[in-house]
Amino acid sequence: MRRVALITGGARGIGLGIARSLADENFDLALCGTRPREAVQSVCDELAETGCRVHYCRADVSDPEDRRNLLAAIRREWGALHLLVNNAGIAPRRRRDILEASEESFEEVMRVNLQGPYFLTQSVARWMIEQRGEAPDFPGCIVNISSVSATEASPNRGEYCISKAGVAMATRLWAVRLAEFDIPVYEVRPGIIATDMTSKVKETYDELIAEGLLLQSRWGRPEDVGKAVAALAGGDFPYSTGTTIIVDGGLTVRRL
């Protein structure tokens, strides 16, 4: 049986790394993002070459109507959903010291990074419970992509840090609530990953990495995160709901 995975922000960056790993594990892929379909067609074609079915839906996870339309499209396309990967996220449009940051930036980041995924999870969880009622062996799973910023304080992008700390707690809340239905919920916490989001600060991180910031002295790659998600989705951690998998090259290992 081929399973169906929904990956928000799945056509670029970390999301695309996750999509590629899940395609290799025989998942069909529902991807969403805010770009028009023609902008992601080449990515969809590439993924489809692995033999999986790929459906792209333009949707903003912070918009309730877009979330409803997204899940309705998956119901029409497959009639099932086995895996939700809450990956879509944004950085502040402008990094600003928390003494100067605006409420508008805070609200925008929270809506996309925390509020949207939280309520998308709510809708998907209800559907997964429904599916499990129809088939007791239904293999549902939810994975939240957070960031080392959930614990590492960056005062020039406080709204981002707070949003990711919220994702970490949301993971635990959903793990507790869905345990009775045997639907595991996990968090994957990436560090410095080479994506378009981090390209603007590449020189800064190049210097920090060269100075020994990481135990493994290289940028993380989207596929590093993808492999972790695939392991969780594939059932390699069956007794670990609520667990956080850290993919950061040793960034957060405390050293003397």
Contact in structure between 12 and 33 (CB atoms under 8 Å): yes
Rounded-to-integer distance, Cα 23 and Cα 19, Å: 6
Closest CA to 25 of 234, 238, 184: 234
Q: What are phi and psi of 118, to 5 degrees?
A: -60, -50
Cα dihedral across residues 221, 228, 67, 48: positive or negative: positive
Which one of 118, 160, 186, 239 is the catalytic residue? 160
160 is catalytic: yes
Element (H, E) at 142: strand 141-145
Instruction: Provide CB contacts within 8 A for 33, sequence distance 6+.
Output: 8, 9, 10, 11, 12, 15, 40, 56, 58, 59, 88
Token pair listed for 41: 């067609």
Strand partners for 6: 30, 84
Of 11, 78, 20, 81, nearest in space to 230 by CA: 20
Catalytic center residues: 160
